Amino acid sequence: MSRVWSVDVRVTPREGILDPAGETIRRALGNLGYEGVHSVRAGRLIRLEVEADGAEAARASTEKMCEQLIANPIIEDYVVRVREG
Amino acid sequence: MTVGTKAGMEAGMGGMKVGIVRFPGSNCDADVYRAVTEGLGESATYLWHKSTDLQGVDVVVLPGGFSYGDYLRAGAIARFSPIMGEVIDFARGGGLTLGICNGFQVLCEAHLLPGALVRNRNLRFRCHDVGLRVENAATPFTSAYAEGDRLHIPIAHGEGQFVAGAATLDELEAENRVVFRYVDRRGQATEAANPNGSARNIAGIANAEGNILGLMPHPERHSLSVLGNTDGLGVFRSLLAAVADGRGRRSDHGPPEAPEFAAGAVAGAGVSS
What mean pLDDT do residues B215-244 have?
A: 97
Q: Rounded distance, CA A65 to CA A69, Å?
A: 6
Contacts with A20 from chain B: Cβ below 8 Å: 119-123, 197
Q: What's residue A16's pLDDT?
A: 85
Pick the catalytic residue from B49, B86, B101, B109. Answer: B101
Q: What's residue A17's pLDDT?
A: 86
Contacts with A74 from chain B: Cβ below 8 Å: 108, 115-116, 163-164
Tell me the percentage of chain B whose pLDDT exceeds 90.
85
The answer to whether B116 faces chain A, any CB pair under 8 Å, is yes
Q: Rounded distance, CA B245 to CA A69, Å?
A: 38
What is the bridge-based pairing of β-strands B126-134 and B150-157? antiparallel
Name the pLDDT band for B14 (thresholds 50, 70, 90).
Answer: low
Cβ atoms of B177 and B207 closer than 8 Å:
yes
pLDDT digits (tens, 9 = 90+) for B100-137: 999 999 999 999 999 999 999 998 999 999 999 999 99
CA distance A1 to chain B (A): 32
Q: Name B117's bridge partners.
A: B162
Q: What's residue B121's pLDDT?
A: 92
Name the pLDDT band for B31 (thresholds 50, 70, 90).
Answer: very high
- Say yes or no for a CB contact (<8 Å) between A74 and B120: no
CA distance B153 to chain A (A): 25
Cβ-based interface (< 8 Å): residues of A facing B: 13, 17-18, 20-21, 24, 69-70, 72, 74-75
The answer to whether B71 faces chain A, any CB pair under 8 Å, is no
What mean pLDDT do residues B213-227 have?
A: 96
Contacts with B72 from chain A: Cβ below 8 Å: 69-70
pTM: 0.88
Task: Using the predicted structure, report yes or no on whether residue A31 has a pLDDT greater than 80.
Answer: yes
Q: Chain B residue with minimal CA distance to A72?
A: B109
Give one word for A33, left, alpha or beta, with left for phi > 0 and alpha for psi -120 to 50: left
> Tell me, what amino acid is at B234?
G
Cβ atoms of B69 and B44 closer than 8 Å:
no
Contacts with A41 from chain B: Cβ below 8 Å: none
Q: What's residue B246's pLDDT?
A: 92
Interface test with B, best of A74, A77, A78 (most B CBs within 10 A): A74
Which helix (H) or strand (E) segment is B239 a member of?
helix B233-244
Task: Using the predicted structure, report yes or no on whether residue B2 has a pLDDT greater than 70.
Answer: no
Q: What's residue B142's pLDDT?
A: 98
Q: Rounded distance, CA A85 to CA B120, Å?
A: 40
Give the number of other CB atoms < 10 A from CB of residue B205: 27
Contacts with A12 from chain B: Cβ below 8 Å: none
- Say yes or no for a CB contact (<8 Å) between B115 and A18: no
Q: Rounded distance, CA B220 to CA B44, Å?
A: 13
DSSP B220: G
> Tell me, what amino acid is at B199?
A
Q: What's residue B59's pLDDT?
A: 98
Q: Rounded distance, CA B217 to CA B155, Å?
A: 4
pLDDT digits (tens, 9 = 90+) for B143-180: 999 999 999 999 999 999 999 999 999 999 999 999 99
Task: Using the predicted structure, report yes or no on whether residue B266 has a pLDDT greater than 80.
Answer: no
pLDDT digits (tens, 9 = 90+) for B243-260: 999 999 999 776 555 544
Q: Rounded distance, CA B54 to CA B56, Å?
A: 6
CA distance A67 to chain B (A): 12
- Verify whether residue B127 is a known catalytic residue: no
Q: Rounded distance, CA B96 to CA B215, Å?
A: 14
What mean pLDDT do residues B74-94 have?
A: 96
- Verify whether residue B220 is a known catalytic residue: yes
Tell me the percentage of chain B whose pLDDT exceeds 70.
88
pLDDT digits (tens, 9 = 90+) for A51-85: 999 999 999 999 999 999 999 999 999 999 999 76
Q: Rounded distance, CA B67 to CA B268, Å?
A: 8
> Tell me, what amino acid is at A52?
A
- Please provide the average confidence, as pLDDT, over all residues in chain A: 94
- Verify whether residue B218 is a known catalytic residue: yes
Contacts with A24 from chain B: Cβ below 8 Å: 123
Question: Which long-range contacts does B32-37 make (Cβ < 8 Å, 24+ apart)?
Answer: B32/B61, B32/B63, B32/B100, B32/B220, B34/B220, B34/B223, B34/B224, B35/B219, B35/B220, B35/B223, B35/B224, B35/B232, B35/B233, B35/B236, B36/B236
HSE-CB at B110 with a 13 A cutoff on CA atoms is 30
The answer to whether B164 faces chain A, any CB pair under 8 Å, is yes
Q: What's residue A18's pLDDT?
A: 85
Cβ atoms of A37 and A25 closer than 8 Å:
no
- Say yes or no for a CB contact (<8 Å) between B197 and A18: yes
Q: Rounded distance, CA B233 to CA B220, Å?
A: 7
The answer to whether B118 faces chain A, any CB pair under 8 Å, is yes
Q: Rounded distance, CA B159 to CA B1, Å?
A: 35
Name the pLDDT band for B185 (thresholds 50, 70, 90).
Answer: very high
Q: What's residue B8's pLDDT?
A: 42
- Say yes or no for a CB contact (<8 Å) between B72 and A69: yes
What CA–CA distances, in Å, run from B42 to A84, B67, B165? 60, 26, 39
